[in-house]
Structure 1
Amino acid sequence: MGTSSPGPAGPADYFTPSPLNGLLYGHIHSAALRAVAVHGIADLLADGPRTAEDLAASAGLHAVSLRRVLRLLAGHGLFTEDARGAFELTENGLPLRTDVPGSRHATILLVSGEMFGRAADGIVDTVRTGTPSFETAYGVPFFEHLAASPAERQLFDAGMAAVSGPIDDRVAQSYAFPGSGTVVDVGGGRGGLLRAVLTREPALTGVLFDRPGTVADHLLDIKEVRGRWSVEGGDFFSAVPSGGDIYLLKHVLHDWDDDDCARILDAIRRAADPGKRLLVIDAVLPEGSAPHPAVALDIAVMLLMRGRERTAKEFERLLSRTGFRLNRILPTPSLPSIIEAEAV
């Protein structure tokens, strides 16, 4: 009797674990994560395990539906469920809480929210036209929309601050900052990186420079850096504070295309004397298609704005175009590297 060849894959194969299926159902897992974040489920578990029924009663939710969502996220290692049906946060799920160091709650609300969702829906057209899908959906560039929408700008700033907090400390410890001088943090947001640098180096002074509405909510008013910082609001396309010994540019260049990056770098070069240093803190993509966590970030950037993640060669070309010499690229314990350049 001959051996029959395998038949076509049956419907069950669409639900078995595989790289393809993980991508196909990814939006469902993200939506489940958003549901528990919006309803504050993790905070309700701060004092220990609780059943879905108990959680639902506290949060005004449908218990059976909540349990199904928690069961899905337990499969991702964010919760555990005991024999009596009580759920508990795991160490991996702890950042879902709003009251812990390293909380990712604001970032989850941002990335799973309407702005990112509408942008993601338009990826089909972005691939066809090259235009960020956010601009198509909202009719204006991303940062113009934030400037006109205070609530969404606040969410964006809070989400980015939550991401940046752990990164700031790791970047600050990965570079040998001088014992004296002035550090100018260009596009520094609320000042998390500058605060980390000044905390580590008690003889340094610093200037935080960003949009007026952003720096107004700065994080520098702590005793460890008291009297060693100032804040300036402005437009980094036009001019930045002069007199710095080191200029920081963290997670800025990846927001912009090469021409706009050149405008930012030109403004810094006009402010920086020859020999002064510029530290670009951004992910550095490998050449080719090797796996790298910044590849997904590159797609998010593509959908929202006209920037991109770059390779080392692309950074070198951009810096040399604007009067800087690339000295070296230093890894950090986090996603971004430190790209050290010098004004020539």
Structure 2
Amino acid sequence: MTAAASSPDPIARPAEDDLRFALMDLALSYLFPAALRAAAALGVADHLADGPRPVAELAGAVGADPLNLHRVLRLLATRGIFTEDDAGRFALTPSAELLRTDVPSSFAPAVLMITDTTFWRPAGELEETVRTGRTPFDRLFGMPFFEHFARDPETAAVFHVGMASMSDPENPVVARAFDLPPDATVVDVGGGHGGLLLSVLREHPDARGVLFDQPHVLAGHRLGELGADDRWDLAEGDFFTEAPPGDAYLLKRILHDWDDEHALRILRQCRRAVSDRGRVLVVDAVVPPGNDPDPGKVIDLLMMSSFTGRERTRADFDALFARAGFRLTRVLPTDTRLSIVEGVPAT
């Protein structure tokens, strides 16, 4: 054996199963959503609909630097998003198909919303949020999230289209997971463009619906797709100060935007307006106890960084409902990442 061969390696390399590698990989994992956003924003998947293409040709089609596009797609391919063949051509995978904008199930708008600067920048300042208990959104954007949202049509469009992309596959599943009183009036509180209410009215043909939101949001409503305009109404207003009368109040991804005091104000308006036979149906993640991974624990940090809200446990909802004059009756699982927390007026 030569002296060179027997000399110790000057760099101490940890074994592949060393926990330092796991921590390093976790610290670098923000680059995956960055790459995913780049691919979605460039519309790469749309240009692969007809089959594999060389990266130089693909770069020309999307207006990108060939080398850098290759590097982004190469990383995404390690997660099953796109695939590269031996000839250097990239092709769609089932996950990448969802990034096409010309398919009904397109998830590209949801990706662009979740990775939008309104979420990305505050998440980068999470240390400030943990230290102060306040979101840095106001400092970064000059105003709270929903004020920025109302004033900036571009941000509003990203949010509404992205929410529809994320919610449309969930809505029919959620609508089938609960029952309603006969001939119920369903109020979709902060219901956006009405995707959930559409599914509810289709699933419950004897129900009537009221889409309740702010005027600039209702302007983009989709309820005309129902084909039965006599079964729904629009109601403009502020859910902190009022709610239309009804029998069932849907709040999908509404309460998690707000701290307990603001969430309580919303629920109290529902309690004042609800009929004696009515109920409130909060559609949100319900965070389970224990150390197991759960999507709600991830989204909770998104709420913490850009909003004032949070994801809640069953016990959290129980306490919140009681303060608002409701009694939590059950938590209904759905075949989505959301549950339905049901409450009835407390006697």
TM-score by length of 2: 0.92
Amino acid at match of 2:323: R
Of the candidates 263, 266, 272, which is equivalent to residue 264 of structure 1? 266
C-alpha separation in 1, matches of 2:226 and 2:316: 40
2:197 corresponds to 1:194: yes
Match of 2:44 in 1: 41
> Residue 179 of structure 1 contacts residue 201 of structure 1 at CA under 8 Å; is this kept in 2?
no
Amino acid at match of 1:161: A
Question: 2:202, 2:226 within 8 Å by CA — same for their partners in 1?
Answer: no
Partner of 2:171: 168
1:125–1:218 CA distance, 2 compared to 1 (3 A): same
Partner of 1:303: 305
Q: CA RMSD in A?
A: 2.2
Q: Which residue of 1 aligns with 2:78?
A: 75
Per-residue CA deviation, residues 173-228 of structure 1 (Å, 9 max, x unaligned), is: 21223452211101111111100011112221100001111111011111444421
1:65 aligns with: 68
Secondary structure of 2:336 counterpart: coil
Three-state SS of the structure 2 residue aligned to 1:247 is strand
Q: Name the CA distance, whole Å, in 2 between partners of 1:17 and 1:177.
A: 53
* 1:286 corresponds to which of 272, 285, 288: 288
- Range with greater deviation from structure 2 (201-210 or 136-145): 136-145
Structure 1 residue runs of 4+, over 3 Å off? 6-9, 11-19, 223-226
The one-letter code matched in structure 1 to 2:314 is A
Alpha-carbon shift at residue 287 of structure 1 (Å) = 2.3
Q: Rate the CA distance shift 1:212–1:12 in 2: closer, same or farther, 3 A.
A: farther
- 1:222 is aligned, of 225, 244, 248, to 225
Q: Which runs of 5+ in 1 are unaligned?
A: 1-5
Paired residue for 2:240? 237
How far apart are the structure 2 equivalents of 1:103 and 1:17? Answer: 37
Distance change (3 Å), C-alpha of 1:15 and 1:215: farther
The aligned amino acid for 1:237 is: F
Change over 3 Å in CA distance of 1:16–1:314 after alignment to 2: closer
Does the 8 Å CA contact 1:44/1:55 hold for their aligned counterparts? yes
Deviations 1:135-185 (A, max 9, x none): 221232111111121111111111111111111111012122345221110
In structure 2, how many angstroms separate the alpha carbons of the residues matched to 1:175 and 1:100? 29
Q: Is residue 328 of structure 2 the alignment partner of residue 321 of structure 1? A: no
Partner of 2:96: 93
Aligned residue pairs, count: 338
Structure 1 stretch displaced more, 304-313 or 280-289: 280-289
Cα distance in 2 for residues equivalent to 1:223 and 1:118? 38
Distance, in Å, in 2 between the alignment partners of 1:41 and 1:11 is 38
Against the structure 1 CA distance between its residues 223 and 141, is the aligned structure 2 distance closer, same or farther, given a 3 Å change threshold? Answer: closer
Letter in 1 for 2:81: L
Q: Percent identity between the aligned chains?
A: 46
SS in structure 2 at match of 1:222: helix
SS at the partner of 1:153?
helix
Alpha carbons of structure 1 residues 72 and 17: separation in structure 2 relative to 1, 3 Å: farther
TM-score w.r.t. the length of structure 1 is 0.93
Evaluate the alpha carbon distance shift between residue 17 and residue 47 of structure 1 in structure 2; reply closer, same or farther with a 3 A threshold.
Answer: farther
- 2:182/2:207 contact within 8 Å kept: yes
Give the corresponding residue for 2:109: 106
In structure 2, C-alpha distance between the alignment counterparts of 1:296 and 1:9, rounded to whole Å = 35
Report deviation, 1:39: 1.0
